[in-house]
Structure 1
Amino acid sequence: MFKKEPALAQPSLSRRRFLSFSGTAMVGLGAISAGLLPAASWAASLVGEHASQTLLRMARDIYPHDSLDDKYYAQVLQPLARSARNDEQLKAMLTEGVDELDRRARAMKSRPYIELTEEADRVEILRAIEDRPFFQRLKGDLMMGLYNNPELWPTFGYGGSAWEKGGYLYRGYNQIDWL
């Protein structure tokens, strides 16, 4: 007499599991953005852990700011890695550039570039390749990425653009103490 209703299909993902997964994802994204995960992992999936650490060391050697965290250098290098994901020439330039740094370092000190402890040795290697496209590309990306970052301007003593505030005449120009 009574007809039994068919059972509703159970969802494959319960509310509890969804909240658990999304919470885990948010913690992971927060750790990446806060710099809690190693900054050198920015390109590890693309060129390998060694190459990404080498590129980060090279970035710090090109623009050495001891007070800056690695995350600021990695923020500049991340778009480069994303571009290289779709550009085989760029990817080849990065991997071949890292290989050349290591070859030169091994010829000089029998160690890879990232294991050279003396900054002068690393700078000597960089000077030898400074006219190559690999070096110029990293140098250009780093210059624009570091010095165009408003978050870092106070670190460098730059107060930002002044034209919209009437210029520098009454906003710092008359306080020059380095001349």
Structure 2
Amino acid sequence: MKNNKPDLGRRRFLARSGITVAGVGIVSAGLLSATAWAARAVGEQGSATLMRMARDIYPHDRLEDKYYAAVLTPLAQQAEADADLRTLLQEGVAELDRRSRERFGKPFLDIAAEGDRVQILRAMEDGAFFQRLRGDLMMGIYNNPELWPRFGYGGSAWQHGGYINRGYNEIDWLVLS
């Protein structure tokens, strides 16, 4: 009678699980890095620039990068299939860096002062690149029920009969951070 037990001793198990853990760690590090989310669409530098731009447009210091990346990742994925969007993002990042170099002698990412970066963004705020990112970020961040408690917002009221007796006159839920 043949033994149906897998030939997996303790040493073999440890060796295989170590390789698996190392592989998962390498893959995770690449997938979850702050710049990897859009690297195929706009490159590592472009990804990091878009993340910095996103945090400057909607600066919530207490929000982790993952919430911004959750908005920007689908945009980057769409840009992989949409040449016009990819061009908009690539040219937008290039324009941001060009203006930053003209004004401060360095690319946007290397400007340490948030106020200086905001000056560059204000100069571009009427353009399609800025408006596309602003719109996606606004909907992605402020329409995310997971984040509502972090902003002190109780959520939509219409399902509960409106704002009557639900804090209509109380504005303390609006936390500017």
Q: Does residue 80 of the first structure (1) align with residue 75 of the second (2)?
A: yes
**What's the counterpart of residue 92 of structure 1?**
87
**What's the counterpart of residue 5 of structure 2?**
none
- Partner amino acid for 2:77? R
Residue in structure 2 matching 1:161, options 152, 156, 174: 156
- Partner amino acid for 2:148? W
Judged with a 3 Å threshold, the aligned counterparts in structure 2 of structure 1 residues 66 and 97 are, in CA distance, closer, same or farther, namely same
Structure 1 residue 40 displacement after superposition: 2.1
- Partner amino acid for 2:166? R
**What's the counterpart of residue 38 of structure 1?**
33
Structure 1: segments with no counterpart, 5+ residues: 1-15
- Percent of aligned pairs with the same amino acid: 63
Judged with a 3 Å threshold, the aligned counterparts in structure 2 of structure 1 residues 109 and 160 are, in CA distance, closer, same or farther, namely same
- TM-score normalised by structure 1 residue count: 0.78
Deviations along 1:93-135, one digit per CA (max 9) or x if unpaired, are 1111111111111111111100101111111111111111001
Aligned CA RMSD, in angstroms, stands at 2.8
Judged with a 3 Å threshold, the aligned counterparts in structure 2 of structure 1 residues 52 and 176 are, in CA distance, closer, same or farther, namely closer
Structure 1 residue 174 displacement after superposition: 4.5
Please give the alpha-carbon distance, in whole angstroms, between the structure 2 residues aligned to 1:99 and 1:110: 14
Deviations along 1:67-92, one digit per CA (max 9) or x if unpaired, are 11111101000111111111111101
- TM-score normalised by structure 2 residue count: 0.79
Please give the alpha-carbon distance, in whole angstroms, between the structure 1 residues aligned to 2:84 and 2:171: 46
Report SS of the residue matched to 2:32. coil
**What's the counterpart of residue 126 of structure 2?**
131
Please give the alpha-carbon distance, in whole angstroms, between the structure 1 residues aligned to 2:147 and 2:141: 7
Residue in structure 2 matching 1:112, options 95, 101, 107: 107
Please give the alpha-carbon distance, in whole angstroms, between the structure 2 residues aligned to 1:176 and 1:124: 30
For the 8 Å contact 2:37–2:69, the answer to whether it is kept is: yes
Structure 1 residue 45 displacement after superposition: 2.2
Aligned residues: 158
Judged with a 3 Å threshold, the aligned counterparts in structure 2 of structure 1 residues 103 and 27 are, in CA distance, closer, same or farther, namely same
Structure 2: segments with no counterpart, 5+ residues: 1-12
**What's the counterpart of residue 59 of structure 2?**
64
Report SS of the residue matched to 2:153. coil
